[in-house]
Chain A
Amino acid sequence: MLSTWRRRAATLSTLLVVPLVAAACSAPGSNNNNSNQSNKGPIKIAVADAQSGQLSSLGAWELKGVRLAADEWNAAGGINGRQIEIGVFDDQGDPTVGTNLATKIASEGYIAMLGTAESGVTIAMAPILQENKIPNITSGQSPGLVAVKSPFLFLNGPTSTTYDETLAKYVVDTKGMKSIAMITNNGGYGKGEHDAFLKALQSRSVTPVDDQVVTADQKEFSAVLTGIRQKNPQVIFVGAEEVQSGLIVKQARDLGITAPFAGGAPFGTPVYLDTAGAANAEGTIVSSPYLSNDISDASKKFAAAYKAKFNEEAELHGAKAYDGAQILFTALKNSGEATGEDLAKAIRATKYKGLLGDFAYDDTGVGIFATTIGLIKSGKLVKA
């Protein structure tokens, strides 16, 4: 009997990891409201994002951005007199969970979806949303989103191609740095960054001195960074999410690497700054469509409202989600609360002056094509 316990425990241990992961997934935040969609009732908008798991900081920012926009519209009387009702769905950053949610969103009568912040999840959800004619404004930025070619999929920011083209232009053309090392992760975002930045370098006939790929879950970078240190690059490009970017930079400084780091949106977040430490992050080159809350009057107003509502400093992801929500609500207003294809057409036709810039959608679902370069100086992101 004694030895059977061990065997059973061992079998169970392997069997149980799966349900453990799956069970940890049951969404805490999904809002079940089964009221039938009538023309007089509220307009149901789904927000799907990671509200738990490793990418939940993105989900939290996104939701705040959307809430702020929805509350502003509702306080002003809603869309043509109808209130906006937000349903929150937790995708945990997992494409499989995402596809289930897409079906759920369609069956519960939501007319549009905002999110997700993870390109991989959005790509997985896109076919189901397209089939059900539910327009989706995502916060993802992978060029893979454009490759889906869904007429119902829109981005609330530029793609990695824009981020990295701007970055390569600054680093190679403006600063004349030719010795560049790359570290990217093999997740959806990192892969997109890798391909986009490499393409931007190749178009300038620059070959990176080192091109390292890490796993999305990796936390220890001694091997990768020591290899890079020996090649002594002038700048190191990182394509990884906030926390991982922070860990890479922190460990690089501990290993005595002094070269500046360069990257996209994650480098502009407070999570990156905290994880790396302000001293280690000094000099980081960031390509972002929203450098700070002080870039315009609109952003100052947004940041003040955000701070008042959530007692937290606004940042890029909240601003993007806010823009996306504003575009959707504007399209709904202009089209007389259209749904399906008409709503998608209305979004495409919407010209919107947002926090990130002037949105004008093309056929690919991208509405904005510019980012600016910022530098981290004494813990603050300033325009280069």
Chain B
Amino acid sequence: MQVTLQTFIGGLSLGAIYALVAMGFSLVFRTMGLVNFSHGNVVMIGAYLASTFVLSAKLPFAVAMAIAIAVTGLIGIFIERVLRPLENKDFDLMLIGTIGFGIVLEALAIIIWGATGRAVPNPVPAAPVEILGLRIRTYDLVVLAIAAAATALLVFFLQRTKRGAAMQAVAMDHEAATAVGIHVGRSNAVAFMLGAALAALAGGLVGPLLYVSPAMGGSLGIKGFAGAILGGFGSIPGAIVGGLAIGVLDAFAAGHFQGYSELVTFLVFTVIIMVRPMGIFGERTVNRA
């Protein structure tokens, strides 16, 4: 029982990170119908920026995170701007374009920060909380709280603001949205910016948990993408549930299947997707793609 609960808690903290990554994937997908394959690498850039401001500039963790999120958001806008001529013309090329950006970002990271990577010290050095023999890292609680807050903000933005409503409209029907005077390109840029900002948030938060290296985007991106698909691609609540589910599934598979855990995780994932191809929260209304 103790092992089960402890495993669950361990899975949740990485799951929260996967959920943030999944939200970035879903946000761009629901707005543009595009899978942003550079997303994992944007997470990595966010992690590097946050860690650089903490380690080199000696800024407090929260300030470093804020700057990293802002800078990474700009990178998101830049990627969208470069890809914009292809919007609504050639999606295959656009997909390949995002892959290209991913490779460029990884190469840039190697040039700027070197290939070796770095460890980021824990910004919340308090001892783990102990409840009934279970140990919960204080930093995990911080990660979960920040992820929850970010989700709430995003949902508020999409549902309660004019810009958010415009993005929903573009997501539903971009031609009709254009007809009523919504700037589709700007809406896409906002989606990319928010996606990149979420990626930076995920990257910055995961830094102290793991190890920041140019290759870290790969597995985070794939797990986050799987989370987004599992929850229902394009759905924000789906991304959260899917991301957390992948994290927890991974943790349990690791305990029970040892060296075959990765295989089991993705087998279970495949079975769920076969039974429910639209994912847990497959949305019909915002189905641009």
Interfacial residues, chain A to chain B (CB-CB below 8 A):
2-3, 5-6, 8-10, 12-13, 16-17, 19-21, 23-24, 28, 51-54, 56-57, 59-60, 185-186, 212-215, 217-224, 226-227, 230, 243, 246-247, 251, 254-256, 271, 274-275, 277
Contact = CB atoms under 8 A, between A and B. Distances in A.
B35 A13 contact: yes
A222 B9 contact: yes
A271 B116 CA distance: 9
B164 interface: no
Nearest to B216: A54
28 contacts: A8-B92, A9-B91, A12-B35, A12-B92, A13-B225, A23-B99, A28-B107, A52-B106, A52-B110, A54-B215, A56-B110, A59-B115, A186-B259, A213-B259, A215-B262, A217-B219, A217-B262, A219-B210, A221-B254, A223-B7, A223-B251, A223-B254, A247-B211, A255-B6, A255-B135, A271-B116, A271-B117, A274-B118
Which secondary structure dominates where chain A touches chain B? helix
B91 A5 contact: yes
B33 A6 contact: yes
Given A13-B35, A215-B261, A227-B255, A220 B250 contact: yes
A6 B107 CA distance: 30
Contacts of A186: 258-259
Nearest to B9: A222
B289 A3 contact: yes
A213 B118 contact: no
Contacts of A218: 254, 261-262
B259 A6 contact: no
B56 to A, nearest CB: 15
A9 B135 contact: no
B285 interface: no
Contacts of B37: 13, 16, 20
Contacts of A16: 37, 95-96, 99
A19 B37 CA distance: 12
Nearest to B288: A2
| Interface-central residue, A6, A21, A186, A215, by most chain B CB under 10 Å | A215
B258 A213 contact: yes
A226 B128 CA distance: 14
Given A24-B106, A275-B119, 8 more contacts: A16-B37, A52-B110, A52-B115, A215-B261, A221-B254, A222-B7, A226-B3, A275-B211
Contacts of A212: 258
B115 A9 contact: no
Nearest to B219: A217
A53 B10 CA distance: 26
Interface in B184-238: 209-211, 213-215, 218-219, 222, 225, 233
Given A218-B254, A230-B3, A53 B35 contact: no
A268 B34 CA distance: 45
B114 interface: yes
Which secondary structure dominates where chain B touches chain A? helix
Contacts of A13: 35, 37, 225
A219 B15 CA distance: 12
B243 interface: no
B257 to A, nearest CB: 9
Nearest to B118: A274
Nearest to B99: A20
Given A214-B259, A254-B128, A223 B117 contact: no
A243 B118 CA distance: 10
Contacts of B102: 20, 24
Nearest to A184: B259
Contacts of B6: 222-223, 226, 255
Contacts of A214: 254, 258-259, 261
B103 interface: yes
A9 B99 contact: no
Contacts of A222: 6-7, 9-11, 251, 255
| A-B interface, 6 closest residue pairs, ranked by CB to CB distance from nearest | A222-B10, A223-B255, A56-B115, A6-B289, A186-B259, A274-B119
Contacts of A221: 10, 254
Interface string B46-76: 0000000000000000000000000000000
B227 to A, nearest CB: 14
A184 B289 CA distance: 44
B40 to A, nearest CB: 9
